Structure 1
Amino acid sequence: MKASGIIRKIDQLGRVVVPKELRNLMDIKEVCFFIDKHGFYIESFDPKVHRLAIHRTIDPLGRITIASEIRRRFNWDIGQPLEIFTEQNRIYFVEYHNFCAVCREGSKLIPVKSKHLCYSCVQELLRNKEVFISHSNRF
């Protein structure tokens, strides 16, 4: 995948802007959604090929509404930054990790499953691990 260096945030209505350069380059007006393990990607919609897929029309400002199923699956809320990558005829949207999932700091990030935590939050979790273990035994 080729990184575009473009970051877009999800707005209040669950929409994200597809960069104009990519819309023009790929000549897309209507797109089809596909889920990947890290995010989702879109392709130009072809009714002969994508009959059963989720598809959306790109509005005049270049926005598409991300299907609620996709936002729920990845636990993406309003303001979630997404990094944009391209590969052949696809545009990928992947969660952008430039901050800690707990305190929103942006330095010394450590990947933990699908999120990133800063060093100080990891230290705090390790100091309080007995509390977490006792709470997890209740469930």
Structure 2
Amino acid sequence: MKPAGVVRKVDQLGRIVLPKSLRKRYQMNEGDPVEILVSGDHIILERYRPKCVFCGSMDGVSEYRERHVCTQCLGEMKLIVNR
């Protein structure tokens, strides 16, 4: 992980402003969901991408009844139902 060389202060509400150059570089727009991850003593911000509730894949994910499921798991479920 390469440091960006930018220092920001946390405000009274715990907010941090991401510089416009970083938001543009990582295609982060106002209102976009951001995932907050913790790894050891590091806090990592990532653009949120839904993951399949069954296998954790981020490829071919669609929403069904407020849950995210990938095409591969959907196919496997169809096989089970058609038995």
User: TM-score range, shorter-chain basis?
Assistant: 0.5 to 0.7
Gaps of 5+ in 1: 1-32, 36-52, 99-105, 111-139
The 1:60/1:96 distance shift into structure 2, 3 A limit, reads same
Larger RCO, structures 1/2 (Cα 8 Å, 6+ apart): 1
Count of residue correspondences: 55
The Cα shift of 1:87 comes to: 1.2
Cα offset, 1:75, TM superposition: 1.1
When you count strand as a share of all residues, which structure comes out higher?
1
CA–CA separation in structure 2 for the residues paired with 1:97 and 1:89:
23
Which residue in 2 is equivalent to 1:94?
Answer: 46
Structure 2 residues not aligned, in runs of 5+: 51-61, 64-68, 72-83
**Structure 2 counterpart of 1:79, from 18, 28, 31:** 31
- 1:34 alignment partner in structure 2: 3
The whole-number CA distance in structure 1 between the counterparts of 2:15 and 2:28 is 17
The amino acid that maps onto 2:15 is R
TM-score (norm 2): 0.55
Q: TM-score, normalised by structure 1?
A: 0.34
C-alpha separation in 2, matches of 1:58 and 1:73: 22
User: 1:93 is matched by which residue type in structure 2?
Assistant: L
SS in 2 for 1:34: coil
CA 1:109–1:66 in 2, change beyond 3 Å: closer, same or farther? farther
Segments ≥4 residues shifted beyond 6 Å = none
What is the aligned-residue identity percentage?
26
